[in-house]
Amino acid sequence: MQSGLKDELQVLNTIVQGVVNGLGYVGAMVATCEPDDTLPVRAYFINPKLITEQQIKNLEQTLSKLIGIEIGLVAPIARAYLRDERFEVI
């Protein structure tokens, strides 16, 4: 089981790095659709020449303080909620 998880993460990381490095995008992420109607971020890659991991973490902290709830752009809590009214766009 652990081997399968490692292989899955390796494949997803290869995909996002390929999108950035091979296709020239600034960043990419992969989120999987789960049975509970969430889309957790499984892999991401951002061109390190543009922003560092620490800058991303600082941005997450700043945004969380501004909006009053903990958010994660690429942190382990990063996920979209497909059917949660709190996140509906009106």
> Tens digits of per-residue pLDDT, 73-82?
776 678 888 8
- Res 18: pLDDT: 96
- Res 5: pLDDT: 64
Q: Residue ranges per domain, the chain?
A: 2-87
pLDDT < 50: residue spans in the chain: 1
Q: H helices within the chain, ranges in order?
A: 2-23, 53-67
- Res 35: pLDDT: 93
- Res 15: pLDDT: 95
Q: How far apart are CA 44 and CA 56, in angstroms?
A: 12
